[in-house]
Structure 1
Amino acid sequence: MGYPDYVKYLLMFLGTCVAMCGCVETDNGNPIHNNPFIIFPGEGKASVLQPNGEEQWFIGSEQEIVWNPGVVPEDSTITLLLSLDGGGNYPHIIVSNTANDGSFIWIVPDLPSKNSILQIAGPVSRDVSDTKFLILRKPNPKQVTTGGGEWPSWRNDRLAFMSDRNGNWDIFVTTVNGTSPLIQVTTSTADDRYPNYDNKGFHLTFTSNRTGHQEIWATTQFFNRNTDKIQLTNIGGTHPSWRPLPTSDELVFLSFTSPGLFNISVLKFQLPLTRSTSIPSPSLLADNTNKERPNWVIESSGLNQIYYKDFGARTGPNVVKTLIANSGPNLPESIVVPVSNSLVRNPSISPSGGKMAVTIGHDIWVMDLKDGQITGKPLQVTFDPATDDVADLHSDNTMAFQSNRTGRTEIWWLTLP
């Protein structure tokens, strides 16, 4: 039989007091034991070890529930219960009266929730997860293109991408659900790459070498798609990204300094762009390192930030950099993606600034952002053995990306869990 709780607490209190004294003395003051010790009741209860907070378990996956069995004799069996409302109710029995051996293999049921709590219950012991864990439905990507496609830019109902299906790289526009015909936006014999829509899906920028070297060009939905293109830079440029709403009148891009090295520069325009729009002088934010894919983000605090990947020697492989926009040159801050020092590439920030997607290895991971800081654990959202890359977050819930899972690189999209 176990001791009543009040006896256990009394024994622990007395043991602690003895340990603090460091000895037990006889009546004449001579110590009979001079080593600190604590009296423990020896009846620790069972406790949850996994899931114990922030785990991300997909429906249908095989997961191990782990607990410390404790040493309460009455707890020879344990019942595992599941709450989907943060611990308010436990209506779902995972297993009843299983052996109290500290482990149970669970096939995660179709009960999606971001407020899941596990409870273990024995005749004496009872414990729950320290914080919520997630039961998620694994994303089901859908293919958008069939003739080859890379570098998606998805705004509103329009998705722009680049493709070499006709022999050289051109820009195309489609919709993810196939409701509109495929439109070829550029037909130059040069290579046109890296499309980027503004947040209204109105102005479409891209990189082109039609002048003999790479510059930023643009077109709008009102232009003749075959002839009317505006050159926006004359110092060399690639990877354009528009400032988000409400005023998409600025463009961040990578300007060239030497092979493989780039500045981060900003252009400001009078919108809408017209055929007579002149090339403005860019302002410089950061210089002379190997960078890729800047994203302009307006934080919830109102701060304008530029997120980008920097491959400089002093930058860790799992670091994304940020700069303050509209402030002239400034020192970048680092955001460390908690993924065991893996190489992180091609960051994409959702229009709200609340999500960031990155490529890690051959898959895409998504994480929550708040004012330039990652909150919670990164979530893997693609799982194919092929290479999934260049995510573009259409919203906090939807994402386009490129993948060679069919044997050719195409554009896909998915709903985030």
Structure 2
Amino acid sequence: MADIKQTERASLLLSRALECCRNNRHEFIMPEHLLLALIDDENFYAALNIFYNPLQLEERVEDVLRQTDPVPEDVEYEPQLSAQMARVIDFAVREVAASSADSVDVPHLVNGILKLDESWAAYLLKDCLGNKEANFMSHLINFCEFGDNLQAEAGEKGEAGAWRKLVTCMNEHYQQCNPLIGREKELKRTIQVLCRRDKNNPLHVGEPGVGKTALVWGLVRLIEEGRVPERLKGSRVYQLDMGTLLAGTQFRGDFENRIKQIMDGIQEESDNNIVYIDEIHTLVGAGATGEGAMDASNMLKPYLEAGRIRFIGSTTYEEFNRHFSRSKGLIRRFQQIDILEPTVEETKHIIRQIQPRYEEFHGVKYNDEAIAFAVEASA
């Protein structure tokens, strides 16, 4: 393809396929190497995940490649294109020539694999898709075009794009909230988890009303005041709301586009950003349209695995056991932090600290006896 124009994405895929071939010391670059490289492509991953778990496909492809004998370690060689891989590229080039496209892109290479008659890569991919090949290709093309348009808009406007309308930047609103009183232990533990290299996604679990969201607002205040470790300085915390994301998503693919738009936008803005998901158990099943369809939790797994975005989640014990615990992949990537109810004395201390704000707002005064009675009566 030296004399054929190709997109940066296509060039990267072919380079990854070659790298995969070399790592396995295979003599020929095969469609299976390309398929493995495709699974690492965010557009292919998102499109396939609507119909099938990409990680399962990855395991199946690796099983096939293990059946290929490697070149001995003492033999110097340079991988060559297999006949089937050459056909994939030929199919892609012919498709570009017959269309209005001017460069070979990811969808052309995928279509080239699907057109193969006798190939494990074609068989496995077709087996994943069933009779949904056309729908899959449509989603893949849309995801690629969506990413291109998002980058073009960002370049023209000099801003991250429309994804900001779908999230709330907590750094811009923290002054409107009451300051966090107490919870030093839980806040310190949250900061420790966020600063770790791996499994750096805190999960706050506690009964309703114990102050899980208030804890995140307290973290944001510390970030804005610069009272956090260097790893967190300058971080922006974006709150993700499943209800907002699901609103108006009439067609399959709308929800996936929104998730991808937000995650890519946050990731491109900074590697230091944090995503806060209240009621995180709603991730499991959100956006799924039927059996085999992906939900929000599956869509976020590539970003969790990459580690470029850190997540903070919150949920109750009941919802954690009922929904969140079903997703073993999510549990592995989050560090649970229990948020227990404050004691009676801690509650009195919290109320006394915020007492002036409420007295000013309501135009009344609260005496110590009233505060003590209210706390003890609700304990």
TM-score (norm 2): 0.25
| Bigger radius of gyration | 1
Point out the structure with the larger helix share: 2
Point out the structure with the larger strand share: 1
Relative contact order: is structure 1 or structure 2 higher (C-alpha 8 Å, sep ≥ 6)?
Answer: 2
TM-score (norm 1): 0.23
